[in-house]
Structure 1
């Protein structure tokens, strides 16, 4: 099973705290599965935790979230070495790749050492839905605003570039991200940037933004561009997704 065309869901969300577990998959992860078109069997989700150093406690919590959601989840670890013999075959065998947040700068460096950047591009073209949160959103774009280098936000500009835009995550909860994104558009680092409030996801078919979705009410996305010497920000309303029932 694969999506009808190359599909990315770039988000600032996807997880929530459960009543009995530390992490549940919220509506955005479920929407990534829906975008894959899988039916008649359990969805196959690949969890990529490179941005948090493949931390075992994160993998354990996400695995429990997948069990509750009814997904078959495989972790792809690159520390201290790949945990599978065939990285490309493993990626291509899944319906959805879900990339966790953390350090996008470290993620990009480690992916390139292992050739995972090229594998992700081939998976995207093959119809595997590429998705993720925070660093797992920025990685698909030209770059964005990151705290990978320290508490002060800095630009990262060597993303995979599957999507030809800058990306701003946590746009409503981290006060430094909006002004930095505006500066990066103003100086031409990015011609355009697509940004998300917490709980919001951007759906792309190919490189076209086709829908904005959210798992929280009253949230939005933003398209930041330049008109002459002026930076313009357009707010794009989000369609509220149904809350998963567990």
Structure 2
């Protein structure tokens, strides 16, 4: 059962250290699954670790986390070749698609090489809920700031642009994030957008921002808009999950 509208929950969270397992999915990802509206069966979640080079150890840990949550996991891997004969069909079978962090630049390059960009748009338009953390948040937007190229952050401007906004992740926890995001929005390199601190997420229906959500106290979300050659930041109201 698809969501009742194209839905994206873009986060700087959704995964945490587990109690009996290495990782477990936390409230932001749980809410993404809830948004899919599944009834009468276990939700299906597709895991992508493209931004980590399809790291098999990480995939194993994410499978474990999904199973602990009571979901049915699958994955899409692109190295050394796609593991699904029809990528679009595989994604359309899912209720939720969850994308891990890592190199958003590498993720976007590999997705375009294998047509995952078009497959993601088809899934989104069909009501499969798209979510993820860090690179798995940036990718849905026009662009943002990234450490894909090294420790000094740089802009990425070739996101999938399912959402017509820029995106800032880890906004309060990494000192380069806020000033660079401000500069890129102020000079027009990036469009106006939204940013999340660790533990926060942004819910979109279609291409409209709906609300900011947090899974831990003290997390925050912001809008950032260019105005007269400068960036204007506004802290958003948030709802605690």
Q: TM-score, normalised by structure 1?
A: 0.96
The size of the alignment, in residue pairs, is 241
Q: Is 1:197 the equivalent of 2:197?
A: yes
Question: Deviations for 1:78-112, whole angstroms, at most 9, x for unmatched residues?
Answer: 00001111111100000000000000000000000
Matches within 5 A, 1:29-178: 29-178=29-178
In structure 1, how many angstroms separate the alpha carbons of the residues matched to 2:68 and 2:216?
21
**C-alpha deviation, 1:191, in angstroms:** 2.7
**C-alpha deviation, 1:3, in angstroms:** 0.6
- 8 Å CA contact 2:183, 2:230 repeated in 1: no
Matches within 5 A, 1:218-237: 218-237=218-237
**C-alpha deviation, 1:66, in angstroms:** 0.6
**C-alpha deviation, 1:229, in angstroms:** 3.1
Q: TM-score, normalised by structure 2?
A: 0.98
RMSD: 0.8
In structure 1, how many angstroms separate the alpha carbons of the residues matched to 2:218 and 2:40?
34
When structure 1 is superposed on structure 2, of 229-238 and 115-124 the one drifting more is 229-238
- 8 Å CA contact 2:187, 2:229 repeated in 1: no
Q: Which runs of 5+ in 2 are unaligned?
A: none
Quote the residue 2:5 is aligned against.
5
- 8 Å CA contact 2:186, 2:227 repeated in 1: no
Q: Which runs of 5+ in 1 are unaligned?
A: 242-246
In structure 1, how many angstroms separate the alpha carbons of the residues matched to 2:69 and 2:85?
27
Quote the residue 2:24 is aligned against.
24
SS of residue paired to 1:182: helix
- 8 Å CA contact 2:187, 2:230 repeated in 1: no
SS of residue paired to 1:47: strand
